[in-house]
């Protein structure tokens, strides 16, 4: 529950804090996912070419490490999207109601043209 309280404060706390963490999460996502696909391809080609010898010499460990980096990048992306959603909800609630808008329309974030 402490993690939920932290995420709630992060996503719905002060806007400046949400914006700062959104930038940190975007930068972390970029660093974690940089060149990740080509490293996966190189690791796969190494294991496909040399088989068990490459796997026992560290190919499997490298695959596990690359997978961990991928999940870390995914976590950073989820935090970025949560911060973005929190900021957009604030903006949506702060705008003045338009003519003919119902309360249900006000709660929805969907915009239709």
Q: Is 100 left (phi over 0), alpha (psi -120 to 50) or beta?
A: left
Q: What is the pLDDT of residues 22-32, one digit of tens each?
A: 999 999 999 99
Instruction: Report the pLDDT averaged over residues 36-42.
Output: 92
Every domain of the chain and the residues it spans: 13-89
pLDDT of 83 reads: 94
Amino acid 105: pLDDT = 63
7 vs 108: which has the higher pLDDT: 7
Q: Tell me the per-residue pLDDT of 85-109, one tens digit each, with 9 for 90 and over.
A: 999 988 888 877 777 776 666 666 6
Question: What is the three-class DSSP state of 110?
Answer: coil
| pLDDT, position 1 | 86
Coil/strand/helix, residue 18 = helix
> For residue 113, what pLDDT band results from cuts at 50, 70 and 90?
very low
Which pLDDT score, from 0 to 100, does residue 95 have? 77
The answer to whether 94 and 81 have CB atoms below 8 angstroms apart is no
Query: Bigger pLDDT: 68 or 93?
Result: 68
């Amino acid at each position: 529950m402490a993690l939920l309280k932290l995420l709630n404060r992060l996503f719905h706390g002060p806007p400046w804090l949400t914006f700062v963490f959104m930038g940190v999460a975007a930068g972390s996502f970029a660093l974690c996912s940089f060149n990740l696909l080509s490293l996966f391809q190189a690791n796969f080609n190494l294991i496909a070419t040399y088989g068990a010898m490459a796997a026992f010499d560290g190919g499997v460990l490298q695959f596990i490490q690359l997978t961990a980096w991928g999940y870390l990048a995914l976590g950073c992306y989820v935090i970025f999207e949560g911060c973005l959603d929190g900021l957009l909800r604030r903006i949506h609630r702060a705008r003045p109601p338009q003519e003919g808008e119902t309360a249900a329309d006000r709660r929805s974030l969907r915009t239709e043209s």
